[in-house]
Amino acid sequence: MNEKKPNKEELINLIRNNAELNHRLMCDCDIYFYDQDKDIEFSGNGEVYSMEARAFAQDGSGGEFVFLEDESIGLISSEGSVGRVSENLDMLLEFLVCAGCISDFNCRYFYCNDELIKTFCAKYIEKRREDCQKEGFSWDESRASLAKEMSIDFNPNSFAELAMEFYKSATREPLFTCRFGSGDDAYVCDGIMSDIVGLWTQELVGMSEEEILAMAK
């Protein structure tokens, strides 16, 4: 564990001033930092966001990570979902160093049962380790070195707890939302969490959708 973590500004500057580190984050964690904060790309078409936000990074599909007015972090995905994903930057990066991609963790049902989320996270890391081993390198060593470059914690044994913190941020009030139109014509974008139990998640944990839903009750 690192003795002293950088503050928000120090961490952002560290990443923005290190092109190789920023590239690693894009490849390994699906996040690439802009040179500077900027207006949201998904604006000017009638979007009404529930909070003021400034974009600071994007993911591989063009979605944007944004700093919200309460200092937490939101995600505006290119597929139309909007929501909070973390309480602060170092928590987001600690989660992504293990998770790799937020959308892999958006099934709400896994968070309804402690054993489900622990099993999912354990199997997820197991699969990542196997994939990296086939490519000739260690997932743990690679991710540990990435975390060390940013002076943040890396503890895969606490991955389930990090995932739960992500879920709590995504579901706590007030929600970060986006609305189009008004009155009867108003439309609110989907949130970050999903009701879809993907086939790959079923295969990963070795359970059917019915078994997962039964455990989530």
Q: 110-134, pLDDT tens digit by residue? A: 999 999 999 999 999 999 999 999 9
DSSP H stretches of helix in the chain: 8-16, 19-29, 89-99, 114-134, 139-150, 159-171, 199-205, 209-216
Q: What is the mean pLDDT of residues 65-77?
A: 97
Instruction: Tell whether the model's pLDDT for residue 87 goes beyond 50.
Output: yes
pLDDT tens-digit series, residues 6-42: 899 999 999 999 999 999 999 999 999 999 999 999 8
Q: What is the mean pLDDT of residues 83-100?
A: 97
Instruction: Tell whether the model's pLDDT for residue 70 goes beyond 90.
Output: yes
Name residue 15's amino acid.
I
pLDDT tens-digit series, residues 129-185: 999 999 999 999 999 999 999 999 999 999 999 999 999 999 999 999 999 877 778
Rounded CA-CA distance 32/92 in Å is 13
Percent of the chain's residues with pLDDT above 90: 89
- Are the beta carbons of 50 and 136 closer than 8 angstroms? no
- Are the beta carbons of 95 and 165 closer than 8 angstroms? yes
Q: Give DSSP secondary structure letters for 91-133.
A: HHHHHHHHHS-GGGG-BGGGGGSHHHHHHHHHHHHHHHHHHHH
Predicted local distance difference test score (pLDDT) of residue 92: 97
The token pair at 108 is 């709400």
Nearest to 64 by CA among 83, 88, 51: 83
- Are the beta carbons of 171 and 177 closer than 8 angstroms? no
Predicted local distance difference test score (pLDDT) of residue 3: 56
Q: What is the pTM of this model?
A: 0.94
Domain boundaries, the chain: 8-105+137-193
Predicted local distance difference test score (pLDDT) of residue 181: 79
* Cα separations in angstroms, 34 against 19, 66, 103, 194, 207: 11, 11, 21, 28, 40
Predicted local distance difference test score (pLDDT) of residue 178: 95
